[in-house]
Amino acid sequence: MAQFMDVVSLTKGIRSMFYIVTPNESSFENVEDVPPYVQQATPFFMGLMVVELVVSLLKDGTPLACVSDVVTSVSAGIISRMPTLFARGFEITTYIYVWDNLRLLELPWDSAWTWWLAFLVVDFSYYWVHRFAHELNFLWAAHQVHHSSEYYNLSTALRQSLTQQFSSWVFYLPMALAVPPSVFAVHIQFNLLYQFWIHTEVIRDLGPLEWILNTPSHHRVHHGRNEYCIDKNYGGALIIWDRLFGTFAPEGNKVVYGLVHKINTFEIFHIQFHYYKYLWRRFNRYKKIFNKFGVLWKGPSWKPGKPRLGDHAEVPEVLPQGERKRESDSERGCVRRVELWRDRECEEGVEDSVLAFLVYLHSQKGHI
Ligand SMILES: [Zn+2]
Ligand SMILES: [Zn+2]
């Protein structure tokens, strides 16, 4: 019997990674009863990463990433979850506040209609969370962490920002006027879990599913620094929002991953916070108040006299080998240049990652 239960929870755990769950098995009356799905998924993150490594070795005979990059990504994932060790997640806390004080109607928590509506609305809201995170520079300061790896594999999915959760909650509040917090708490977790498996090069094309779902192919484009990839494919579980709002781009030329301006470091705290320092320097550089606020409220590539999102033709050219021309230090004052860093398989900063991991293990609790 115990073995049967193990198999059931194993298959349920695997299905959870792909959002293949029914309303019946994932509807709860109280938010306290909602399982911490993301935390429970840790063994599945690790298991799927091993599967990906084996498959890619069998397929191409080449490793997907360097160890430092994987450790940095996993550490960023741990750091991003740290606030939830001491309190409920920021998104759910603010959501409950609005539900308790401002709700206009109460959709039934145990209705499949509510479940499916919440699935759609969470994903729609995520599209806007993500789009604003790319199009407003002060939000990009947080989200750039997720794009800072020059590799693309399942560990990249874990490379999350510590600070993004302090702004993303706003976008989910309209839902709190009608959808119970327990339903939201389920979908916000499955939406995040779904986005794990799409960070891979092992899966190339999913046929007709590419029309509706966000897939590895679509999300590879999102992580690209080729000109055709910039500001494209913001979807979470569904790609339909990008198709509707004109931000969709299919995968074309080989995608080269990472930030347009590379940061060349594995130091996890530098990766998390360097952009705020850069923003502050740019904010102070301009004398006119309009330009100062342009730095914060317009796109990362914006400059005075340019369109809101900057001129994508100015994106540094991606060369065939995946390398590109050097930009001057004056363009990116706070960026460290480490010549030949790939050759050195740079280990600096990995000590910070290990430290973060140990702190996490010591303080782990079961909050959502
Ligand atoms: Zn993004
Ligand atoms: Zn991603």
Taking only the tens place, the pLDDT of each residue in 167-224 is: 999 999 999 999 999 999 999 999 999 999 999 999 999 999 999 999 999 999 999 9
Q: 245: CA distance to ligand 1 center in Å? A: 16
Q: 235: CA distance to ligand 1 center in Å? A: 9
Structure tokens at 203: 């899966």
- Which ligand ends up closest to the CA of 126? 1
Q: 31: CA distance to ligand 2 center in Å? A: 28
Residue 350 has pLDDT above 70, yes or no: no
* Rounded mean pLDDT, 135-143: 96
pLDDT above 90 as % of the chain: 67
C-alpha to C-alpha distance for 271 and 159, rounded to whole angstroms: 10
298 touches 227 (CB < 8 A): no
Q: Is 298 part of a structural domain of the chain?
A: no
- Which ligand ends up closest to the CA of 144? 1
Residue 339 has pLDDT above 80, yes or no: no
- According to the model, what pLDDT value does residue 168 have? 93
- Which ligand ends up closest to the CA of 218? 2
Domain range for 173 is 18-274+321-363
Q: Is 296 part of a structural domain of the chain?
A: no
Residue 134 has pLDDT above 90, yes or no: yes
Q: 286: CA distance to ligand 2 center in Å? A: 32
Q: Is 11 part of a structural domain of the chain?
A: no
Q: What's the whole-number average pLDDT of the chain?
A: 86
Q: Is 143 part of a structural domain of the chain?
A: yes
C-alpha to C-alpha distance for 172 and 62, rounded to whole angstroms: 41
214 touches 236 (CB < 8 A): yes
Q: For residue 279, give the nearest of 177, 140, 164 by alpha carbon.
A: 140
Encode 121-157: b = buried (16+ Cβ within 10 Å), e = exposed: bbbbbbbbbbbbbbbbbbbbbbbbbbbbbbbbbbbbb
- Which ligand ends up closest to the CA of 158? 2
Q: 154: CA distance to ligand 2 center in Å? A: 9
Q: 197: CA distance to ligand 2 center in Å? A: 10
Q: 92: CA distance to ligand 2 center in Å? A: 22
Q: 311: CA distance to ligand 2 center in Å? A: 23
- Please tell me which residue, 196 or 263, carries the higher pLDDT value: 196
Q: 262: CA distance to ligand 1 center in Å? A: 15
- According to the model, what pLDDT value does residue 5 have? 57
Beta bridge partner(s), residue 224 = 257
- Which ligand ends up closest to the CA of 157? 2
Phi-psi region of 326 (alpha: psi -120 to 50; beta: other; left: phi over 0): beta
- Which ligand ends up closest to the CA of 133? 1
Q: Is 308 part of a structural domain of the chain?
A: no
Residue 6 has pLDDT above 60, yes or no: yes
Q: Is 299 part of a structural domain of the chain?
A: no
Q: 111: CA distance to ligand 2 center in Å? A: 32
Between 170-174, 248-252, 293-297, 309-313, the lowest mean confidence (pLDDT) is in: 309-313
Placement of tokens 């060349």 in the chain:
264
Q: 224: CA distance to ligand 2 center in Å? A: 10
Q: 269: CA distance to ligand 1 center in Å? A: 19
* Residue 68 CB partners (closer than 8 Å, separation 6+): 266, 345, 346, 347, 349, 350
- According to the model, what pLDDT value does residue 344 have? 36
Q: 339: CA distance to ligand 1 center in Å? A: 27
Q: 149: CA distance to ligand 1 center in Å? A: 12
- Which ligand ends up closest to the CA of 159? 2
Q: Is 76 part of a structural domain of the chain?
A: yes
Taking only the tens place, the pLDDT of each residue in 102-125 is 999 999 999 999 999 999 999 999
Q: 143: CA distance to ligand 1 center in Å? A: 7
Q: 270: CA distance to ligand 2 center in Å? A: 19
Q: For residue 187, give the nearest of 102, 245, 107 by alpha carbon.
A: 107
- Please tell me which residue, 305 or 60, carries the higher pLDDT value: 305
Q: 234: CA distance to ligand 1 center in Å? A: 6
C-alpha to C-alpha distance for 70 and 149, rounded to whole angstroms: 9
User: C-alpha angle with apex 69: 16 to 43, nearest 5 degrees?
Assistant: 25
- How many structural domains comprise the chain? 1
In angstroms and rounded to an integer, the radius of gyration of the C-alpha atoms of the chain is 21
Our CA dihedral for 303, 304, 309, 311, rounded to 10 degrees, sits at: -70
Q: Is 177 part of a structural domain of the chain?
A: yes
